[in-house]
Amino acid sequence: MTETLTSAGVVSGPRLLRYVDGDTSLATHLDRYGPLPPLTRRELQEAADQVALRGRGGAGFPFARKLEAVGSASGAPTVVVNVSEGEPASLKDATLALLAPHRVLDGAEACARALRVHTVHLVVPAENPPVEQSLLRAVEERTHDPHRSWRLRWRLHRASPWFVAGQARAVIELMSGRANLPVTGWRPEAYTGYRGRPTLLSNAETYAHVGEIVRHGAEEYAALGTPDEPGTALLTLRGDGEHPQVVEVPYGTAWDEVLTSEELAGPVLLGGYHGTWAVAGELAGARVSRSALQGAGLTLGAGVVLPVRGCPLRRTRQVVGYLAGQSAGRCGPCRNGLPALAEALRDLDAGHGGTQRTQQLLRLVSGRGACAHPDGTARLVASLLRSWPDEPALHASGGCSAVAA
């Protein structure tokens, strides 16, 4: 799907997507923004902290804390740009790589300079060659730019087309020449990552925001968004369906400005396949805000927004069936628990049995995996049962809330 995404599926935005005219050259980028100002680690860390920058890969971890951990840990740091989204419904990193590659590379270069690093690793999706080609062209331009004072080597790694391939430990495994699958990590990558070194690993959107902060300063960056959540976010709308779209909105934007009234009147899956369900009408009058969504038991995750026309139980069953086949298969919760959970949801969808088996499996897989894949899958199912507690019984009686609506 990302292979065919062009500017036709992208709405021009206030910051990262300000220019989606197809001109991605370094010369035009420098004409628009000028040279990248050099910042020390402390200066970059303070700027990121001032605007409360959080990672846009899904976990939302404070970037300043991650940068501080990498900079203060023992050993030479490593900088990694993860463009392998893994999530099939997310198109935002691919969009940046295709339409604004130098925005991403700006942030990576700023971090490399701040950490005194001369090599940056780019992890790209093997199934999407245009993303790789666009980044390689941008890297080539920067490498041969005679005015560039900080020289960088850029190393490319191709991630496998698996849901879990973009997980942090899976990326470290790939870079180390092993299977691109997650393993148990005893310490965060910021302390012990690639080759045991402190590793700054974030996704493409996060680095693009870093570049924006470095170029324009924390005060101007915070002019958009809210006092508690400055800046903007990229959202992928309908990313695994028809007419996918990537939009950029300031935090605090009303969901009524993001989704149509018809979409708001139905169920919405927020955060992607590891996300949470918003019931019909729940987002109407609400705003794009990580903290507000968290307070309502929802998650923005990696910015995936999937309006659903139909049965939420059936949709969840389909997603969990997919996720059960996308695990590393290296621990019991993934190897045995997720297939069993998928089977339990098939039974519920078909109207067989109650939720006791499903609830039991949720307890068995949660918090026991080598990575967060079982937890994310369990979060999705738990959200379904919490949002539509009567849906399994409705199916058992031959009905469905989608039909009733």
- Residues 318, 393 share a domain: yes
- Tell whether 386 is covered by a domain: yes
- Residues 173, 58 share a domain: yes
Residues 63-119: pLDDT tens digits?
A: 999 999 999 998 999 999 999 988 999 999 999 999 999 999 999 999 999 999 999
- Residues 135, 259 share a domain: no
3-state secondary structure 297-328: CCCCCCCEEEECCCCHHHHHHHHHHHHHCCCC
How far apart are alpha carbons 63 and 75 in whole angstroms?
Answer: 20
pLDDT number for residue 40: 96
- Residues 124, 63 share a domain: yes
The CATH number assigned to the domain holding 377 equals 1.20.1440.230
pLDDT at residue 5 tops 80: no
- Residues 284, 150 share a domain: no
How far apart are alpha carbons 199 and 8 in whole angstroms?
Answer: 36
Please give the residue range of the domain that contains residue 76. 2-221
- Residues 346, 281 share a domain: no
The stretch 123-146 carries a mean pLDDT of 95
pLDDT at residue 7 tops 50: no
- Residues 214, 125 share a domain: yes
pLDDT at residue 400 tops 70: yes
Confidence at 127, pLDDT banded by 50, 70, 90: very high
pLDDT at residue 12 tops 90: no
The CATH number assigned to the domain holding 85 equals 3.40.50.11540
- Residues 285, 336 share a domain: no
- Residues 300, 316 share a domain: no
How far apart are alpha carbons 286 and 258 in whole angstroms?
Answer: 11
Q: Please, what is the Cα angle at 166 between 160 and 167, to 5 degrees?
A: 130
- Tell whether 322 is covered by a domain: yes
Residues 375-392: pLDDT tens digits?
A: 999 999 999 999 999 999
pLDDT number for residue 60: 82
- Spatial neighbors of 223 by CB under 8 A, at least 6 apart, are none
Domain count, the chain: 3
Q: Put the strands of the sheet holding 276-278 in their side by side order.
A: 245-250, 232-237, 304-307, 268-270, 276-278
Confidence at 404, pLDDT banded by 50, 70, 90: low
- Residues 338, 354 share a domain: yes
- Tell whether 231 is covered by a domain: no
